[in-house]
A and B are shown apart, each in its own frame.
Chain A
Amino acid sequence: MLSLFLFPALLFPQSGDGFSALAKEVEMRTLDNGLRVLTLPHGDAPVVAFHIYVQAGAMDEEIGLTGLAHFAEHMAFKGSNRIGAINWRAEQEAMLRSDQAWAAYEQALTAPVGNYEEDEIEALKNRFNSLNQRAVNLADAGAFDRAVEVAGGRDQNATTGTDATRYFVSLPANRTETWFWLTREQIGAPCMREFYQERDVVMEERRMRTDSSPVGGAVEALLNAAFVAHPYRDSTIGHMDDLLYLDRPEMIRFWQKHYTADRIVVAVVGQLEPDEIFDFAERYFGDFPSGEEPRPRRTKEPDQTGERILEMHRPTSPMVVAGWRVPALTGREWLVHLALNEALFGGPSSQLFERLVKKEQIAAEVQGHPGFPGRIDPTLFLGILVPLPGESPQACMLAAQDAISEFAKEGVTERQLEGVRRRLKLSLLSELETPSGLASALAEAEAEDGGWESIFESLSVLEGIQSSDLQTAALRFTREQRTTVYLLPAGMNSDGSFSSTGEVSE
């Protein structure tokens, strides 16, 4: 046992060479328009995982247009003029006319009261509905999804965040060109059909994730309070009122402005020939337009000079959601905060679990989320505490803050630090077990962490992380830099007591 302390290198055995050997197999090529393509031959099964990482997300939205990036991601699956079209010319005209009809109806809705009669507004609505229905009937919007599924596509999905939008799918290895063909249509030429129907779906998604979910609502409130200027303030799903008024031309403008070749990274992992992939990339993506302007700047969030506290009442058992301000988390800083998360929140031997769950027994659960909602601009480190029934949410928060301050002062022993490194290493290796995990990690690292190589360097970076790195990071986690949301059932106060009047505040 003692020898392990003297020779830390032994704690990281030489096996795992299988993993570092992968680095030699990765190839990257950048097309003339700036689009980056990564390939990695991997695995025995005849499957290929595709991952598209677009450096465009909710933080690129303008005021009044929240939810646009996520909505656009939905629209990308509706096909183009070459897939999903039954009668393209007629459909295109019908879509343009329904857009105009929507604009007219929207104008009537938002005009000062009295400008339009009730039945005038109703008539405009009916006109829009019939034109829209005509456009819908001229297309087969499910054709894109069907084509992927018929080809044997698995785990097809997309996610929109603040920083980026991702599209991914795995296909049998004989469908590679199929994927390129479909992706050209999806990313290069989406026609945004069934826009107005899809808006209902997105609104339903908002209801599900945020409005009906107490935690979702609490997180949104946290963001709204923690950020006053930077677009991280607005949740990706968008405000309901903005969604109601989004229109198709705005969506097309967003796509053309942000989905440019220089902001797209494609990663392909599985049974493949790199040269064939690059050839396809050239043929299918080579003429994607390059961006004329750099990515728009985001308003810098001003300093926070004191704690911000919110109380929210919902039909739920109590919970505390806290966010501490942290700098942008990329490259080494990202790994340091992942390690900090492991040390503070990661499992039964972590600082907060030890103190709140085992020792003081005031919490049932503690969770940490570094880099929320995004990580390429100064952001938050989220902590979620679930008090045990009868315990005070405030007391939980106090104990957690105290535990973190103590950690910042005392740090961890070498043995504990080694445990943190190992746990993080194992969790990183787990993510990289499958072709889709590898594709996702490669694309993200290339886009945000200075290059895909950083994945393979991360293991050695981890070894170099010291307690002092974690302590320096934890020192930022002060009460003054914290936004706290107390999510409480009706009638409960943040100290766990119940108010006699039964007054409910928001």
Chain B
Amino acid sequence: MKPWRWTFLLLLLLSACSQQVQRQTQRRGGSVTGLRPGPWASIDQVPVPELSEFEPRLPERIVFPNGVTLLLLQDSSRPIIELELRMRTGSWNDPRDLTGMSEMVAEVIRSGGSESWPGDRLDEELGALGADVSFTAKRDSTEASFECLASDFDHVLSIFQTLVQSPTFPEDKVELVRGQLLAALTARNNRAGEAASRESMRAYYGVGDPRVRRQEAHTIENIGVVDLKNFHATQYGSRRALLTLFGDFEKEKSVATLEKVFGNWPGQTAQAAKLPIVAPLAEKSQVFLAHKKGGNQTEIRLLHHGVRRSHPDYPALHLGSWILGVGGFGNRMMTRIRRELGLAYGAGAAWTGSFEQQGLFQSWCATKNETTALAIREMVLVMNAFLEEGVPSREFEEARSRLLNAGVFDVDTPAEVLSRTADLEFYGYPWNFYEQVSSSIRSLSPEETIAACRRHLNPQNISVFVLGDSSAFDSDLSEFGSVTPWALEVSKEEPSVEAESNETAQAQKLVRHLLASHGGVEAWLETTAIWCRIQAPELGPFEVWLQYPSRSRLTNPEGENHFVETFVDGSGWTIQSGKPTEIWDSSKITTHENLLSKKLPFVLMRLARSEYKLRSPREELLILSFEGTEISMIVGKDGLCEKLFLEDGSYRFEDYGLVGSLMLPKRSIWTPKDQPEVKFQLEWITNPEILPLWFEQPGE
């Protein structure tokens, strides 16, 4: 062939090849939609200029003579003013048997108004002004606030003042609010997520813990107008209250007006609620199973003790939370549980540090019933992997970037700055607290971070709370710990419709009062054992363990001849100096069981479980029958047991005090028939450790 032909052929071949290559490249590197590649081949190449410096405007702080602190921040972008008053009272101040009090007070103030602004006139006026007033009782604070057009500030403030300082609590509005709260109670388990979050806390803390008390129909029903007025009169006041003012206000004029209104307002007379700030320690794995028929999803909550925000490990735990389970979609829980396994729409985990309370570590997700156990297993695996293997530095740096780079958004609007600063001020944290945390986070290493997380999480001891249709679960969940069924609602203690007589009805009312005064039904239901140390002059001390329903163990720990006397469900024995000396037969058992059954704590445990037939022939007298035994009790005006009668004498109980959340006497006086009385000093522990081997019959 002539040379030019070769060239021609070669060119032809080459051009065909290059076209082929081009098409292949497009198919290989091209997008699915056909869009050509745009600027910069990868995200890492996109230029990122320096972020401009930004110091958010902080509020100004003024303190009134009575200690009320005012924070103000001006913003004239909208013709609106917002004022909030935060007082030191809340649901944690509710009386034990009248939970819901603080919320009811708040709602009735808004609905019922004051003398100059009664409810309906108040609604109409606020509606016409387009202003909003609200009272919200939280746990450790009550927020009273209003929002209005700037030009209406003085007028709305004067209305607001009457509501805060002199509400009237009219009866018709009290009943209206009562109806609304009762309605809300019937609906409180409609949303599984909310119910699970609330009940898991109650399970973890224990229903007797005042921090997780909740409203019940009978507590709402028992709140009277007098109670509400009293709560307001003693709980609403200026003591360490916080005011925040935001919007289009004129500073000098507004400060002067606010000082006039709130600057001389006296502090509340009631003491601040003294609540524990320590969370229950996660010491063993346990499962609480709330079975709810009909849904096809299960809500899962895993709980463990955590830290307060002031804890030195808080910055590391905060960063650990962003790696493990919060801050968008890039954390481990979302990646594994949602994206890789498709088990849930949302999943997360975090140490939720509180300002005053020791917070908790929590992990959560919602999955279909059939993958409940699988989801829990996988969540625990994620936690274990995180703690055991640590975090590769690239992932660590990314998480840190996510956290720190998003930090500007915590302060990007003046309203947010004010709100954050108000929280810090209210809880006595320095205003640069978050900057300190960010600074610590900047200097943390992966090793330090994981070490801190290890100190505050042991997945072996996690509490599992589950709300779903257990008939569809993929396992009985016992692999995660001992399983306790959890009732979403406590059965009501209403007088039965077939009340036989006044005696029964009166007895039921008396028992309700008795149980409530002794710590509440739930607390006694939670109590399955009691330990008591009994001291008498010239006797003892004795120690006795009582385990519901019918076991006891009595010893004389300091006696020369050490003995142990044990009763177990119908049999009993004594061991002296290590040797069994007597094994009781059934005749002797009955006598002792009778004696045993009249121990006050046993009586209360049984009452809480509705195991007695009840009779009350006269006002303070209660007669309880159980399997042929009759017990008589005198109940004092305060609802506490005053006297307990046995066949051969009686007990008198005095000097009651709180043991956990149970009310128990520190002193009992035993008066045998026709004999001088004996005084006992008593010390108690609730739910002590019980060793199963105590109740193994010797010589078996």
Contact = CB atoms under 8 A, between A and B. Distances in A.
B339 A142 contact: yes
A369 interface: no
A149 B330 contact: yes
Nearest to A259: B33
Interface stretch (A150-158, A294-302, A329-337): A150-158
B281 interface: no
Given A13-B149, A200-B343, 15 more contacts: A18-B77, A19-B78, A89-B29, A142-B329, A152-B402, A154-B406, A173-B52, A174-B52, A178-B48, A181-B43, A182-B43, A283-B39, A289-B35, A365-B183, A426-B130
Contacts of B30: 81
Contacts of B679: none
A389 B180 CA distance: 9
Nearest to A192: B32
A422 interface: yes
Contacts of B345: 201, 204-205, 208
Closest 8 CB pairs of A and B: A422-B130, A152-B405, A349-B127, A200-B342, A189-B31, A364-B183, A45-B412, A145-B329
A125 interface: no
Interface stretch (A108-116, A313-321, A403-411, A463-471): A313-321
Interface stretch (A209-217, A370-378, A441-449, A492-500): A209-217
Interface string B349-374: 00000000000000000111000000
A184 B124 CA distance: 52
B296 A82 contact: no
Nearest to B180: A364
A194 interface: yes
Interface residues of B, number: 91
Nearest to B31: A189
Given A192-B32, A433-B415, A46 B43 contact: no
A149 B38 contact: no
Given A347-B127, A416-B128, A358 B31 contact: no
A16 interface: yes
A315 B339 contact: no
Contacts of A190: 32-33
Given A201-B345, A204-B345, A317-B190, A419 B297 contact: no
Interface in B330-354: 330, 335, 338-340, 342-345
29 contacts: A45-B411, A82-B42, A141-B339, A145-B330, A151-B401, A151-B405, A153-B406, A170-B412, A172-B405, A177-B47, A184-B35, A188-B38, A189-B31, A191-B31, A191-B32, A201-B342, A204-B368, A213-B191, A256-B33, A289-B35, A315-B293, A317-B187, A349-B127, A361-B176, A386-B183, A419-B128, A421-B130, A429-B78, A433-B78
A43 interface: yes
Interface in A208-255: 208, 211-215, 252, 255
Given A81-B29, A213-B191, A145 B127 contact: no
Contact of A197 (B48, B151, B339): B339
Interface in A396-431: 415-416, 418-419, 421-423, 425-426, 429
B37 interface: yes
B328 A389 contact: no
Contacts of A423: 127, 130
Central interface residue in B51, B128, B190, by most chain A CB within 10 Å: B128
Contacts of A416: 127-128
B28 interface: yes
B328 A153 contact: yes
Interface in B434-457: none
Interface of B: 28-43, 46-52, 54, 56-57, 76-80, 111, 120, 123-124, 126-130, 132, 147, 149-151, 176, 179-180, 182-184, 186-187, 190-192, 248, 292-297, 327-330, 335, 338-340, 342-345, 366-368, 398, 401-402, 404-409, 411-413, 415
Nearest to A414: B128
B261 to A, nearest CB: 23
Contact of A150 (B36, B78, B129, B398): B398
B328 A156 contact: yes
Contact of A15 (B40, B79, B120, B408): B79
Contacts of B343: 200, 204
A315 B292 contact: yes
A434 interface: yes
Contact of A433 (B39, B340, B413): B413
B371 to A, nearest CB: 9
A425 B297 contact: no
A127 interface: no
Contacts of A211: 295-297
Contact of A152 (B124, B408, B411): B408
A170 B43 CA distance: 18
B199 to A, nearest CB: 16
A348 B119 CA distance: 10
A146 B398 contact: yes
Interface in A74-94: 77, 80-83, 88-89, 92
B78 A16 contact: yes
A406 to B, nearest CB: 18
Interface residues of A, number: 101
Interface in A248-283: 252, 255-256, 271, 283
A97 interface: no
A77 B335 CA distance: 13
Given A172-B408, A314-B294, A149 B402 contact: yes
A173 B405 CA distance: 11
A357 B120 CA distance: 12
A73 to B, nearest CB: 14
A201 B296 contact: no
Nearest to B120: A358
B541 to A, nearest CB: 53
A476 interface: no
Interface string A6-21: 0000000101101100
A207 interface: yes
Contacts of B402: 146, 149-150, 152
B28 A88 contact: yes
Contact of B330 (A142, A207, A350): A142
A412 to B, nearest CB: 10
A82 B75 CA distance: 44
A423 B409 CA distance: 28
A429 B80 contact: yes
B577 to A, nearest CB: 61
B56 A45 contact: yes
Contacts of B409: 47, 152, 154-155, 170
A175 interface: yes
Nearest to A435: B412
B54 A19 contact: no
A83 B43 contact: yes
A361 B176 CA distance: 7
Nearest to B110: A348
A45 B54 contact: yes
B600 to A, nearest CB: 38
Contacts of B123: 347-349, 354
A255 B126 CA distance: 49
Central interface residue in A16, A147, A178, A214, by most chain B CB within 10 Å: A16
Contact of A358 (B128, B176, B411): B176
Contacts of A173: 51-52
A125 B342 CA distance: 18
A172 B51 CA distance: 8
A434 B411 CA distance: 12
A154 B328 CA distance: 8
A255 B31 CA distance: 13
Interface in A326-356: 347-350, 354
Contact of B37 (A82, A357, A415): A82
A167 interface: no
A98 to B, nearest CB: 14
Nearest to B416: A434
Contact of A181 (B40, B57, B130, B407): B40
